[in-house]
Amino acid sequence: MKNKIWIIVLFLLVGILIGGVSFYFLEKMTGMQKGYGSFTTPSVPRQIIDTSKAFSEIAGSISPSVVNISTTKVMRRESGSSLEDPFFDLLNPFRNFKMPKKWKEQSLGSGVIVSTDGYIITNNHVVEQADEIRVTLFDKRSFKAKFIGADTKTDIAIVKIEADNLKAAQWGDSDKLQVGEFVLAIGNPYGLSHTVTMGIISAVGRANVGIADYEDFIQTDAAINPGNSGGPLVNIRGELIGVNTAIFSRSGGYQGIGFAVPSNMTRLVMNQLVDKGKVTRGWLGVTIQELTPELSQKFGLKSEKGALVGDIAKGSPAEKSGIKRGDIILEYNGKKISDVGNLRNMVAQSKVGSEIPITILRGGKEYSVNVVIVELPKDMAEATPGNTPEDPTFEGLSGLTAMELSREIARQLGLHKDEKGVVVFRVEAGSPAEEAGIRKGDVIQEIDRKRIEGLNDYNKAVSGMKPGDAALLFVNRGGKKFYVTIKSS
């Protein structure tokens, strides 16, 4: 009996011990859970909160100025095609399928309101050849838009709607942009209206992209996708500093490289389209080319800044002012020239009839001339010479054979019968001349700034070169003139 009592007491003691231990750990766990439940989020730095709030305010401020643009284009099938040929129909397995003579194509894009009376900026490729343009606002109102005008050379177009209570975007100064600044891109990618993406300015003054004739693009990594075209790029003050135009992509989607037309260029184009219905540009009358390190060295420059004059149009403002072939344009209207694209844009944006001071380098000395800008003729353009060799330097003249330039050969090459020089009629495959980009039919007219009128002049100039010497050649290729440097082998 006593043994049974002790056994019962022992079980009670063990139970109490287990219960106490369990209660202890249970309370610990409950306390931990309570601790987790009352866990306090680490404090976020005030600057981050303020920055996030600022971006939200910017997006909220600019969104009412951003519009969706949908276009409809009526496509027509040409009559008299083989699909309407009865003999073709007998053999055509799809003869019961009747292709419509006309159908509609629709596309989407973006735009930005820039005036309270309804003017909207977009891209030319968004509304080009559209039969109907519809604009949908942030508040879902929809209007039929009137096409005002377009400039294909910058891919900018203007449309207008008749509506009340419109909010216009504020213009920013794109000339003051700095690489690294935060920007927001807003638009209608893939039909997703008023999508906002953030990035930075990756580069400014981007040219030679192959998108437009006059390029001075802002490059950004803010996500830009199909449908964003025509939408605004804004700075951290919510100001319009660019119009999203294109992306660089191998897949067709976003890859971190987008381009926008600067606001200052856009505004100039818009003002002319609204006021005159067309865009007029200034003309200087020069063919210009980039300065390479080798060309800069030959012309006594310490950098590649500036534009080398390869040719002068007869009767042009440049010729009248005294600018000569071989001059290097260093400044235009008080602004330094960084490259060819920079000068082209400055000239194009100059007011017709204005007198512009230009600083040139000639023979190691700087000169200043004044040029009266005229309107760019329709069949001409300030441009770099076509088909200029990508790398204008090579090791020597080996692999190149030249002959006299007769009047008949000049005629066949499309040159004036009185042109002087020697014509390249053979370039050996794999030779330094071929690697340099020299082609059959090129006419060499100068070596080291001395005229080459025939083979005698050419042979004297070449025979006088020592191995390793660099010579400056002036080449005429089908009327396009440019300089190259040559190292003798």
Token readout for 59 is 């997006």
Cα–Cα distance, 385 to 308 (Å, whole number):
11
Cα–Cα distance, 470 to 448 (Å, whole number):
9
Cα–Cα distance, 343 to 314 (Å, whole number):
20
Contact status, residue 189 vs residue 253, Cβ threshold 8 Å: no
SS3 224: coil
What string of H, E and C letters represents the secondary structure of 426-444? EECCCCHHHHHCCCCCCEE
Q: Residues 6 or more apart from 277 whose CB is under 8 A from it?
A: 148, 149
Contact status, residue 476 vs residue 445, Cβ threshold 8 Å: yes
Distance of CA 450 to the CA centre of its chain: 39
Cα–Cα distance, 384 to 477 (Å, whole number):
13
Contact status, residue 177 vs residue 241, Cβ threshold 8 Å: yes
Token look-up 């909207």 returns 120
Cα–Cα distance, 231 to 240 (Å, whole number):
10
CA distance to 59, 220, 255, 256, 331, per residue, from 178 (Å)? 21, 12, 22, 18, 22
Token readout for 38 is 């009352």
Q: Residues 6 or more apart from 67 whose CB is under 8 A from it?
A: 110, 111, 112, 113, 120, 135, 136, 137, 138
Tally of CB atoms within 10 A around 73 = 15
Contact status, residue 344 vs residue 356, Cβ threshold 8 Å: no
Catalytic residues: 125, 155, 229
Nearest of 462, 488, 278 to residue 394 by alpha carbon: 488
